[in-house]
Chain A
Amino acid sequence: MREVRLLVANRGEIAVRIIRAAKELGFVTIQAHSRADADSLAVRLADEAVDIGPPQASKSYLKIEALLEAAKSTGATAVHPGYGFLAENADFADAVEAAGLAFIGPTGDAIRLMGDKVAARQAAAAAGVPTVPGSEGHVRTLHEARPVVARTGFPLMIKAAAGGGGRGIRIVRDEAEFERLLPQASAEAKAAFGDGGLYLEKVVERARHVEVQILGDGQHVVHLFERECSLQRRRQKVWEEAPSAGLSAAVRRKLCASAVALARAVNYRGAGTLEYLYDDQSHDFYFIEMNTRIQVEHPVTEMVTGIDLVREQLRVCLGQKLRHTQDQIRLHGHAIEVRLNAEDPARDFAPGPGTIDRLSLPGGPGVRFDSLLYAGYTVPPFYDSLLGKLIVWDEDRSHALARLARALGELEIGGVATTRALHLALAADPDVRAARYHTTWLERWLEENAARLAPATDRTGEVPTA
């Protein structure tokens, strides 16, 4: 293979993660950075760095021309988009390939297909993957919507087909509410997105969020089992595990096979995740969407399979074949990841940038810390609040929980408020320890418990007995 010069078109902990994987493959790493990130850990670790513009992401990390120009001026041969920013922007993927560079992700067309909620559902249905009962295509009027409701029942979610990030979502609980809100939702979608198309979906209450990691080389696809990310706040994951404690071996087999079937149907290349809702009463699972990128929570999968996902993603997107057959990929032990955000859980998770004046990292067996931190670093205010991820592995879930509490007790991040206290409290919670939760469990737990997550508890971690 000729020399690979990899432009990292992202920032933060994922940029660090990508640089590490790329260096191990012998690639030259080039960190694209905004002016607020000139002193970031990623810039320090990369072989080269290139300025792509002002601090605001809209003028740097989201600016396609600036990144293409940086790739050109540095002689890059490949571009890794990380997650967020332009990672799932089909036009960016197309532009990178049109410039003669390798895009470390799927083709623009695959991103486009999976980014369109209706097209993705149709692709899933065609591959025999169950989807949440809902509309087959876009609906705009009550007349079009009534037959769908007859099939799904209530509660029902109305979403703008062109929306995203939770925008334009309404939940209706009865006929009258539905008749009143549907025309309003369509008018709003038309005003906000220029397209009044809606889609309707049954609300699966008390569902667990499970997702299957896949890797494809454009021809063959393998799965690396599932993760569970049911602990969420405002639809943001805060704690992730692999495998899911809520699945039987039989359901796991069916779920993972369905993910491979769908990814294979679209000749998927790269690392991808198929997200599902899982009803642990009926044991039914429903595909919700596919993320065509490496995800924040990928390390838990790496810990239980022993496979470096970013390394394999780089290889397949540079034209190599998958190196693992399905039967070579084994599930071993249990892993948990918690997100350390620069947010104060005692003050409604108010985010706060600042300078890291003390940093003490946990160690010992089965402990990994992926982060953007170093002592003395000033966390800029312009980007999201993720500082790092503490990941632990152990032979089973109860040992992993004890190890997590022990490692959180060793972790000290001084100078900014973090979500460490939240994770210590969760690790000791009886419902969490019994894996009795669903996607709205944490919000309710916080209503009762957020007050006792005072910063004072951030100092000493109580290690719960296993």
Chain B
Amino acid sequence: MASKQILSPLPGTFYRRPAPDQPPFKSEGDTVEVGDVVGLVEVMKSFHEVKADAAGTLGAFLIDDEDAVMAGQAIADLEG
């Protein structure tokens, strides 16, 4: 069961990859340290990193790559 969640700090479009032709920042099951980048949120054409604020193991992503996200919405489960 997820003990924590990683939340989007901003509303916008969520991206799991730094660029379309690059691998995702993190995948399900990856270990995450505090401050690790797990994705980007595009707000009005500017990009902001979404960082983990706790350490743990990344559970399921709750938002698909390139989907719309609201501020405070959960992006992924964090187990640990």
Contacts and interface: CB of A to CB of B under 8 A. Distances in A.
Given A381-B11, A381-B12, A54 B68 contact: yes
B13 interface: yes
B43 interface: yes
A36 interface: yes
Given A351-B43, A351-B46, A381 B66 contact: no
B70 to A, nearest CB: 9
A265 B14 CA distance: 45
A56 B12 CA distance: 9
Most A C-beta atoms less than 10 A away, residue of B10, B43, B44, B66: B44
Contact of A56 (B13, B44, B45): B13
A350 interface: yes
Interface residues on A, range: 10 to 19
B45 A385 contact: yes
Contacts of A58: 66
Contacts of A384: 44-45
Contacts of A351: 43-46
B33 to A, nearest CB: 26
Contacts of A382: 12-13, 42, 44, 68
Contacts of A56: 13, 66, 68
Contacts, number: 38
Contacts of B44: 342-343, 351-353, 381-385
A353 B43 contact: yes
A351 B11 CA distance: 11
A350 B66 contact: no
A343 B43 CA distance: 11
4 A-B pairs closest in CB distance: A351-B44, A381-B12, A381-B11, A385-B44
Nearest to B11: A381
19 contacts: A54-B68, A55-B68, A56-B13, A56-B66, A342-B44, A343-B44, A352-B43, A353-B43, A353-B44, A381-B11, A381-B13, A381-B43, A381-B44, A382-B42, A382-B44, A382-B68, A383-B45, A384-B44, A385-B44
A357 B66 CA distance: 30
Nearest to A349: B46
A36 B68 contact: yes
A381 B45 CA distance: 9
Contacts of B46: 350-351
Interface in A227-252: none
B9 to A, nearest CB: 12
B15 to A, nearest CB: 10
A344 to B, nearest CB: 12
Contacts of A350: 46
Contacts of B66: 56, 58
B48 to A, nearest CB: 9
Interface string B37-68: 00000111110000000000000000000101
Contacts of A54: 68
Interface string A13-36: 000000000000000000000001
Contacts of A381: 10-13, 42-44
A383 to B, nearest CB: 7
A381 B13 CA distance: 8
Given A36-B68, A54-B68, A353 B45 contact: no
Nearest to A35: B68
Contacts of A55: 13, 68
Nearest to B48: A350
A193 to B, nearest CB: 12
A381 B10 CA distance: 9
Contacts of B68: 36, 54-56, 382
Interface string A370-389: 00000000000111110000
Nearest to A343: B44
A382 B45 CA distance: 7
Interface string A317-343: 000000000000000000000000011
A418 B45 CA distance: 16
Contacts of B13: 55-56, 381-382
B42 to A, nearest CB: 8
Nearest to A383: B44
Contacts of B43: 351-353, 381
Nearest to B66: A56
Nearest to A36: B68
A350 to B, nearest CB: 7
Given A36-B68, A353-B44, 4 more contacts: A381-B43, A381-B44, A383-B44, A385-B44
